[in-house]
Amino acid sequence: MANYISMDNLRFILHEVLQVKDLCQLEQYKDYDKESFDIMLDAVKTYGDKVMFPVFKEMDEDPARYEDGKVIVHPVIGQFMKDAGENGWIGSVFNYEDGGLQLPSTIQTASAHIAQSANNSMPGYTGLTGGAAHLIVNFGEQKLKDTYVPNMIAGKWGGTMCLTEPQAGSSLSDLTSAAFLNDDGSYKIKGQKIFISGGDHEYVDNMIHLVLARIDGAPKGTKGISLFVVPKKRITSSGDLENNDVITAGDFQKMGQKGYCTTHLVFGEKDDCQGWLIGDANRGLACMFQMMNGARIDVGMTAASTATAAYHASLQYAKERPQGRRIKSGGQKNKDEEQTSIINHPDVRRMLLLQRAITEGSVSLLLHASMYQDLADFGPDEQKEKYDNLLEILTPIAKTYPSEMGRVSINNGLQIFGGYGFCTDFPLEQYYRDIRIMALYEGTTGIQSLDLLGRKIVMKNGEAVKQLTKEMIESIKAASAFDELKPYADQLKNASKELEEVIMHLLQYAMSGDHERYISDATIFMEMMSNIVIAWQWLKMATVAKQTIITGNTTYEVTFYENKVLTMKYFFKYELPKIKSCKETLMSPDCLTIVEKNEKAFS
């Protein structure tokens, strides 16, 4: 079977860079240790090998679809929901009393990386179910928890998040789905939701939708949005399931992730759809954000994992494909020499290193972010705010960098296959199509960039960005202790100063009240800052690798650690310098994209 992930890489980040076992000193995770984490990860890998990877292509060729009023998905989804429920994967991070395994988010994210590398469509079904159940656990009344959560985390019922409407995508403040209070305290729900992932299929007995809607008379805008649990089938007083007037009107046909259904749902067409409020009225968006933040890390990891699987396919192909001769041995003129494998051509090695730099850098960032989540939730009280700030500022980056640069990575991987990359005989074209959605759902790149520059940079008077800089300075100091790494540490130090300069420059617009100018190039800012953040991840990994080589306390072959240092150097030579052109654009006095500056640009 083809290789789709390196477990050694994953373990290196978890155990040697992050020292994930330290989490076991926290009360919340005291029942775990390094070995139990490894056993769980191995179980996911075995499952990925046996069940998920073998149907990856099949799910693309036999896509989810709408037929005779039903959504048809691959039968493996039935087995997956059942197995995930039985293994405790759906509610793995929930507390014991809520039926969970009380596992750190870091380990859950690492497990997701394995599963998503094996098959990027399947884990969405359980991921959304777990996310929806988590919202009910955190904000729902006990009765709602008892009614829904056990069946959801057992994989018997599915879960979704229903935000998007035809006229309200990025701008949720325009949503119009409505809720009317019933005499019994429940609500009558009316409205339509589109693009709902995992929204309907025959392999669960019920589907539990977490729906954003406006209570009759609520204020306009985001402050009038509430969150409801709306089951496809409600429970009668005798305990049976009856239809709750939730109709599936269709399934969107897509360019990628074809095995993952994307439904159009209609609530309350017959005026008989019941929903139950969770959290406070008009505070629904704040509750939903909890799920969305987790989902953003998850989308980032799906992108990083899809690109990881593509990298392994490219690597194998590059080793096996003979083509051309080394320039060193006379190139094409040397007819007597056997063809060399393309992996020996510098341009192919460059593309492979680019893939490795992007994918491993992304995985490292996502695991870091998840660890900050664990520390923000269960770490020492006096440090919770710090970790929360770090998580806040890194979340839009952790979603966007893997989504955007993962696509670049796969594009280069496809190039390695030459013409075969374009053909369905090889998996790269599928990975290329599959990853395209990651920069769109869970907030487009444009919206994530507005969040980063418009909200996160300025939050708490710049506290989050200050804390992130502090973390980077610590890593720079640690790397500077090694002669070989010192030049790279200096390069990152300069890059971080350049970022500060750009922020100060842009803030002048915000302070003068020109907010549109401040955020007009937010996406370029995202490009610059995320490049620096990934460089930081690489410097951290290279420092651990270098230290390990010197002490000789190696878990893997020495070349494994040397390759970490090599890939860091690649990132600093080929990728990090790109921040200079971002800086030039961001500091340029020209303003070309604001309507009033060039009103006739598209006339």
State the residues that interact with ligand FAD by CB under 6 A: 160-164, 169-171, 195-197, 254, 262, 437, 440-444, 446-447, 450
**Nearest distance from C-beta of residue 336 to ligand FAD, angstroms:** 54
Our CB check for ligand FAD shows the closer of 437 and 568 to be 437
**Nearest distance from C-beta of residue 288 to ligand FAD, angstroms:** 9
Our CB check for ligand FAD shows the closer of 447 and 492 to be 447
The dihedrals phi and psi of 91, each to the nearest 5 degrees, come to -110, 35
**Nearest distance from C-beta of residue 441 to ligand FAD, angstroms:** 4
Distance from chain centroid for Cα 366: 8
User: For the purposes of burial, counting CB atoms within 10 Å of the CB of 96, is it exposed (0-12), middle (13-18) or buried (19 or more)?
Assistant: exposed
Our CB check for ligand FAD shows the closer of 169 and 361 to be 169
Contact residues for 506 (Cβ-Cβ < 8 A; gap 6+): 453, 518, 525, 586
- Give the CB-nearest residue to ligand FAD: 169
Our CB check for ligand FAD shows the closer of 310 and 447 to be 447
**Nearest distance from C-beta of residue 196 to ligand FAD, angstroms:** 5
Nearest CA-CA partner of 108 in 183, 37, 200, 177: 37
Which of 417-424's residues contact partners 24+ apart within 8 Å by CB, and which partners? Answer: 417/314, 417/317, 418/321, 418/323, 420/317
Q: How far apart are CA 447 and CA 400, in angstroms?
A: 10
Both tokens assigned to 177: 């789905």
Both tokens assigned to 211: 């729906």
Inter-CA distances, 369 with 330, 343, 377, 397, 471, Å: 49, 34, 12, 10, 13
Our CB check for ligand FAD shows the closer of 162 and 565 to be 162
Our CB check for ligand FAD shows the closer of 171 and 323 to be 171
Our CB check for ligand FAD shows the closer of 348 and 438 to be 438
Both tokens assigned to 100: 């969970």
Inter-CA distances, 188 with 177, 185, 211, 226, Å: 11, 10, 12, 13
**Nearest distance from C-beta of residue 162 to ligand FAD, angstroms:** 6
**Nearest distance from C-beta of residue 125 to ligand FAD, angstroms:** 11
Our CB check for ligand FAD shows the closer of 429 and 442 to be 442
User: What does the DSSP assignment read for 221-248?
Assistant: SGGGBEEEEEESEEEPTTS-EEE-SEEE
Contact 515, 573 (CB under 8 A): no
Our CB check for ligand FAD shows the closer of 169 and 427 to be 169
What b/e string do you get for 278-287 counting C-beta neighbours within 10 Å, with b at 16 or more?
A: bbeebbbbeb
Contact 121, 391 (CB under 8 A): no
Neighbours of 590 (CB within 10 A): 7
**Nearest distance from C-beta of residue 92 to ligand FAD, angstroms:** 21
**Nearest distance from C-beta of residue 19 to ligand FAD, angstroms:** 35
**Nearest distance from C-beta of residue 466 to ligand FAD, angstroms:** 27
**Nearest distance from C-beta of residue 393 to ligand FAD, angstroms:** 20
Our CB check for ligand FAD shows the closer of 492 and 524 to be 524
Give the side-chain half-sphere CA count within 13 A for 222: 9
